[in-house]
């Protein structure tokens, strides 16, 4: 097999590889666009100009889709700039449903809320499923990388979740989690 068919095989295979996970992160859409461009070049180089033309159009469509879905800031930007920026594209539809279910379940298990200097502290019912708390924290961190999250399990058997961060995070938490049930 010569170099041109190998290039075509690699380009089309990579295009399929990046198409499958594009709902997970916008970067996969950009990779898909790059592989469409490579497939277009392959089509023109081998003389199949209709294939090359169609792949060129797909490149443009993918770039537009990436532009619409790309996050406004990256986690490294958040580290440099303490502003609040949630990544609404962080989850697949299934992950979004899991996150919403976990959050709703955990917020109904809040029995006390304490304000901290940088955020809030929730006491959860002792019957809370700790794996659910940890799963929610992992998902919350993906969506909102600016948050500092902690789980406290004191010797008295209570369960506490700490959420906080830089300037403005305390107000964000108050607005975002105002539905947390509290008895204090």
Summarised one tens digit per residue, pLDDT across range 85-119 is: 788 788 888 989 999 999 999 999 999 999 999 89
- pLDDT tens-digit series, residues 145-158: 889 999 999 999 99
User: Which pLDDT score is estimated for 179?
Assistant: 60
Would you list the domain boundaries of the chain? 3-69, 78-176
The verdict on domain 78-176 having CATH code 1.10.3470 is no
In this structure, the number of other CB atoms found within 10 A of the CB of residue 37 comes to: 19
60 vs 30: CA distance, rounded Å: 10
Residue in the structure block whose two tokens are 């970067």: 27
Low-confidence residues in the chain, pLDDT < 50: 73-81, 183-184
> What is the model's pTM?
0.54
């Amino acid at each position: 097999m010569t170099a041109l068919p190998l290039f075509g095989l690699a380009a089309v295979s990579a295009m399929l590889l990046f198409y499958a996970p594009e709902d997970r992160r916008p970067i996969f859409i950009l990779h898909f666009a790059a592989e469409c461009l490579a497939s277009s070049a392959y089509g023109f180089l081998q003389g199949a100009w209709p294939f090359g033309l169609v792949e060129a159009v797909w490149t443009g469509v993918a770039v537009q889709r990436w532009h619409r879905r790309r996050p406004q800031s990256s986690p490294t930007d958040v580290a440099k700039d303490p502003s609040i920026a949630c990544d609404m594209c962080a989850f697949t539809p299934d992950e979004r449903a899991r996150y919403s279910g976990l959050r709703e379940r955990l917020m109904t298990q809040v029995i006390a809320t304490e304000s901290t200097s940088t955020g809030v502290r929730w006491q959860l019912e002792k019957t809370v499923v700790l794996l659910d708390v940890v799963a929610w924290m992992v998902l919350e961190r993906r969506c909102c990388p600016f948050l500092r999250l902690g789980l406290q399990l004191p010797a008295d058997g209570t369960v506490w979740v700490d959420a906080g961060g830089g300037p403005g995070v305390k107000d964000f938490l108050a607005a975002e989690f105002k539905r947390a049930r509290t008895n204090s």
